[in-house]
Amino acid sequence: RHSHSASEMPNSQKRKATGAPAPRRCPPPRMEYRARSDEAWYGARVVVQDGWLRVMFENFPEDADEWYNPGADLSSPGDVDALRARFRRACPALDDAHCGDLRPGDQLCLACDMHGGEIKYYDAVLEAVEKAPHGTVDGEERCACRFTVCWTEGPRRGCSDKVGVEVVYCVLESPIQDPVLTEFLDDVRNRFGDDQEEATAVSQQAAPSGEEEIALVSSLTSHELLE
């Protein structure tokens, strides 16, 4: 899934590659990324290049890549957590034979028709399942059920629709396991901890200790009594 034409890619912050050649764009991505400009989900992979995190979209040219500069884009632990939340494991298509496994409240990712043949992917919550007898096509089971969903993202956010199995993908709850992304984000976040420790140390050095404060007060008191 997530095979769009390059013209459909939203404008985003870009940075030309320098130094090492661009990494190969295979195998298929194991994760998805929510783009900053349109908040839609895309298949993606990441590499760290020149100290920046480079997000490479599946089936898009290099000039569509998004870049994150740790110094400018990730200036707080909250920024790191927000970026981490933009990634997740790739969502598998709902298997026709397993539609009965869905329950109201399940989080789904749906193909959203943006008109003009453009398809983007946004999240929704399942509200109800309208059961229907399954058929068989070329020896394979085909689900005919209808799913009432409420969009939580995208242009139809807050709206309810009935959709078929062909546009439904299952959001996996297990955490993403990408060593490049994890190492990059953990390293950036740990720097904030180091900075905080340094700031605390400097503050403690600048402020007088408890014994110094007592000595200072005692000295002042003695001086006042002499006067």
Please name each of the domains of the chain with its CATH number: 29-90+174-188 (2.40.50), 92-171 (2.30.30.140)
| Per-residue pLDDT at 193 | 76
**Cβ neighbourhood burial of 111 (10 Å; 0-12, 13-18, 19+):** middle
Q: How many angstroms separate the CA atoms of 57 and 90, rounded?
A: 13
Tokens of 130: 């309208």
Question: Per DSSP, what are the bridge partners of residue 49?
Answer: 52
Residues 122-157 pLDDT 10s: 999 999 999 999 999 999 999 999 999 999 999 999
Mean residue pLDDT across the chain: 81
Residues 44-66 pLDDT 10s: 999 999 999 999 999 899 999 99
The average pLDDT across 159-167 equals 97
Cis check for the bond before 155: say yes or no (omega within 30 of 0): no
Question: Per DSSP, what are the bridge partners of residue 45?
Answer: 56
Is-contact 143 99, C-beta < 8 A? Answer: yes
- Full-model pTM: 0.74
Distances in Å between the Cα of 21 and the Cα atoms of 17, 50, 53 are: 8, 11, 15
Q: How many angstroms separate the CA atoms of 1 and 170, rounded?
A: 12
Continuous H helices in the chain: 70-73, 77-84, 179-206, 210-226
Whether residue 9 has pLDDT greater than 80: no
